[in-house]
Amino acid sequence: WDFNWDKQEPHNLVKPSKSGTVDSEKVEKVKPTATRNLILIRHGQYNLKGTCDEERFLTSLGIEQADYTGKRLKELAMPYSSIVQSSMCRARETANVISGHLPNVPLHTCDLLQEGAPFPPEPPVGHWKPEMHQFYRDGARIEAAFRKYFHRAEASQKEDSYEILVCHANVIRFFVCRALQFPPEAWLRMSLHNASVTWIAIRPSGRVVLRALGDCGHLPPAKLTTT
């Protein structure tokens, strides 16, 4: 396990003296004490017949799914700091439904969280074969999203935090692989239900814990989909 995976290991944050020694007091000052919790929500079921993003809106079932997830997040009653939504239509609509249950939580939009082809999967699948230039383009963007949101807390953060990211299955699965230091090409070996909850905790030490993967127990069986 690489404890310095986010390049935020305390010794790396303190500039060594000319003699090469590191001031232990300065190291203590930059040590985090809080845990960052990232709650990753996949969007609800959407219109697969859409030819552009704005036509790939949530179905009536997708809206129901998002509503169940919003209720679940409200029931968990965590001190959410923000909701960050992908700028794609289906994610925005899902986040808006969830936000209705958490009216006091700020809602933000991030283009980096858009759906895409994060990494050539292994083993490959016959029905989904993006061009290599798409992996090259999308992979860099989704990796940038990972680096933006996945890191241990700053030393100034005194309380555990809970941030909701509403995005897409490919993005979430890639994040899980990267966060757990699994081979990134393994991301397509997982499947996530629509409006499911994936929960990742980042400890002050740099340890990462997957607390839930694609949790959909809050959805009635008849409402489960993976499209």
The CATH code for residues 34-223 is 3.40.50.1240
User: Which residues fall within 8 angstroms of residue 201, CB to CB, at 6 or more apart?
Assistant: 35, 36, 37, 38, 208, 209, 211
User: What is this structure's pTM?
Assistant: 0.95
Going by their DSSP bridges, the two strands 197-202 and 107-110 should be labelled as unpaired
Q: What is the pLDDT of residues 71-119, one digit of tens each?
A: 999 999 999 999 999 999 999 999 999 999 999 999 999 999 999 999 9
* Helices 60-76 + 89-101 axis angle, to 10: 40
Omega before 32 cis (within 30°)? no
68 near 223, Cβ under 8 Å? Answer: yes
Give the phi and the psi of residue 171 in degrees, each rounded to 5.
-65, -45
Domain ranges of the chain: 34-223
What angle in degrees, to the nearest 10, is found between the helix axes of 132-149 and 169-179?
A: 60
Query: What tens digit of pLDDT does each residue of 27-43 get?
Result: 899 999 999 999 999 99
| β 36-42/197-202 pair status | antiparallel
pLDDT digits (tens, 9 = 90+) for 127-170: 888 999 999 999 999 999 999 999 999 999 999 999 999 999 99
